[in-house]
Amino acid sequence: MFHKVVKADEVEDRAMMAFIVGGWPVLVTRDEGTLHAVINRCSHAAAQLAPDGRVRRGAVMCPLHGARFKLENGECMGAAGYKPLKVFDLRETEDGWVEVAVPEEAPGAEHLPVKPLG
């Protein structure tokens, strides 16, 4: 189901915009003109990618240990081999809104891992 998230003209190139959409943490960004939405949690150790990560040349870099993931399909780049990021469908409405589709059900532990205490 698509949710209205942000006006498209507010998403600047390489923006790191964090939202909660239907209970899901979502990063919305733009890379060389193209809008993208991916989960705002690194698949390595669950760091938030926005606002402190960076977008460059089609990939988002995690601020914690520097893993890079392709915005197009979430694939982890380089040798790290972490699980891909979840990618959300995104569309731009005629009146200029970015809409993002997230699953109906709230994210489970496989999407929002937490570190054990102690």
Residues that bind ligand FES (CB under 6 A): 42, 44-45, 47, 62, 64-65, 67
Residue closer to ligand FES (CB basis): 5 or 59: 59
Residue 52 tokens, joined: 């402190």
- Is residue 34 within 8 Å of residue 61, measured between CB atoms? no
What whole-number distance in Å separates Cα of residue 63 and Cα of residue 17?
14
Tell me how many degrees the CA angle 84-47-32 measures, rounded to the nearest 5: 60
Please, which residue, 6 or 87, has the CB nearer to ligand FES? Answer: 87
Q: How far is the CB of 42 from ligand FES (least distance, A)?
A: 3
Q: How far is the CB of 83 from ligand FES (least distance, A)?
A: 11
